[in-house]
Amino acid sequence: MYNYIVPSFAPGLAHVCNRSYAMHMTDTTASSSDRTARRNVIVLVLAQAILGAQMPMIFTVGGLAGQALTTNPCFATLPISLIVLGSMLSATPLSNLMQKHGRRAGFWAGAAGGAVGGIICFAGLFYGSFPLFLLGSLCTGIYMSAQGFYRFAAADSASDEFRPKAISYVMAGGLISAFVGPQLGKLGNGLIDSPSAVVTAFAGIYMFVIALNVIGSALFLLLDIPKPPQPSEDAPRGRTRMELLKTPRIAVAVICAMVSYALMNLVMTSTPLAVVGCGFEQNDAADVVSAHVIAMFLPSFFTGHLIARFGVEKIVATGLVILAGAGAVALSGVELEQFFIALILLGLGWNFGFIGATTMLAGAHEPHERGRMQGLNDLLVFGGVTFASLASGGLMNCSGGSAQQGWVAVNIAMAPFLVLAGGALIWLVMRPKDEATV
């Protein structure tokens, strides 16, 4: 869900970045002592920790602020949906910008989008305008998309040996943001004293969002990453998008990635509404989200090793089972500890399911098909995430008379999609190896 979720790619996925960026590295870079790469990693870790802290804050308060601003509670989570939509729509333009002008330009554009989004959201809260708040959320998606490129930037100037470590270190910055973001959110709650309860509760948080983007953008002055060369005109074209999707292994990988990410977003989006609606405090919701984000990032230190040892299909299957376990715990009750356990399992299940599916996809297409397939995959995955965000608010607020009934509806909705992904994975495993890859 959170594409602040994307930097959680594990060392086991390093070979994806190795192949993706081999064409970008010069002989001098490959044979260097990685001094430049290490400095870039430090910059990106700090960026992930500082700028990335805005995402847990926004995802915690987005639904709550939306609920306070809209007259129709079914649209409460629409701000979060528009963040994801903004991320999906800006991914290709940002990628093209980085291809032409370098990483620094793309990251500055992302930080600018985050700052502008924070300003517009602040204005929406101040004027009590839900449409204005939605517009700000859409702009925030530009930062979310740019953050997803941090892991690739870490690999750009790194040698083959250092590249997996570089990705892991940048990922670790996400753990820092998981702690920092919710704590800043708590400080922002009530920071501005206003007659409007909405302004008092949320406006201070968006002031922190603006500050994080402005301060954090200065870090990119320290990046030293060469611009990638343009591919040659005689490079092989590869299969069409439809031909790629007809490949069984690719189709199953996309399905499992979509289900893992969309279900994580479906439940996480409704969590702050459910926690507060069941009688707990906004700060309790922030703590639950923080635990969830940590569970998303932390396992990535060993997920790659598990994939290498047990096989990608088993890890994806384990992720789907853990997601089902998260739903079962959520359905067992609405005590605070049940929210914590359910959301921790949700983060862990996403980690295994999504990273495993990404690994499966990476080994199912040729290098010259990479851009086409990965772009298509992101479009489908984040299209599913956008739909899940929209559905989350409707299920939470419009499927029963209480927050508890809405929470039950959200978690029951996971079942058919888990069956779909599990069935697709079983179908793939049972196919002959030579048939599964063509």
**Type of residue numbered 368:** H
**Type of residue numbered 127:** Y
Query: What proportion of the chain, given as a percentage, has pLDDT over 90?
Result: 39
pLDDT confidence band for 435 (50 / 70 / 90): low
* Rama region for 128: left / alpha / beta (φ>0; ψ in -120 to 50; rest): left
Residue 143 in tokens? 């930062």
Closest to 419 (Cα-Cα) out of 326, 325, 315, 321: 321
CATH of domain 1-226: 1.20.1250.20
d(C-alpha 4, C-alpha 414), whole Å? 22
pLDDT in tens, 387-412: 888 888 788 888 777 889 999 999 99
d(C-alpha 114, C-alpha 116), whole Å? 6
Phi/psi at 180 (5° precision): -70, -45
Instruction: Give the contacts of 287 (CB within 8 A, at least 6 positions apart).
Output: 182, 340
Whole-angstrom CA distances from 86 to 94, 113, 152 are 12, 10, 20
Residue carrying structure tokens 């997920």: 303
Class in CATH terms, 239-433 = mainly alpha
Task: Write down the pLDDT at residue 237.
Answer: 67
d(C-alpha 133, C-alpha 121), whole Å? 5
Task: Write down the pLDDT at residue 161.
Answer: 66
Instruction: Point out the least confidently predicted range of 30-34, 78-82, 414-418, 430-434.
Output: 30-34
What single string gives the DSSP state of each residue in 79-118? Answer: HHHHHHHHHHHHHHHHHHHHHHH-HHHHHHHHHHHHHHHH
Residue carrying structure tokens 């044979």: 31
**Type of residue numbered 132:** L
pLDDT in tens, 184-239: 888 988 888 888 888 888 999 999 999 999 999 999 999 888 776 666 666 666 78
Task: Write down the pLDDT at residue 18.
Answer: 45
Arithmetic mean of pLDDT, 360-371: 70
Write down the pTM of the prediction: 0.74
Task: Write down the pLDDT at residue 228.
Answer: 64
Burial of 125 (0-12, 13-18, 19+ CB in 10 A): buried
pLDDT in tens, 95-148: 778 878 888 999 999 999 999 999 999 999 999 999 999 999 999 999 998 887
Neighbours of 229 (CB within 10 A): 10
Would you list the domain boundaries of the chain? 1-226, 239-433
Task: Write down the pLDDT at residue 164.
Answer: 57
For residues 64 and 362, which has the higher predicted lDDT (pLDDT)? 64
Sign of dihedral through CA atoms 285, 118, 50, 349?
positive
Residue 138 in tokens? 């859409």
Average confidence score pLDDT of the chain: 83
pLDDT confidence band for 31 (50 / 70 / 90): very low
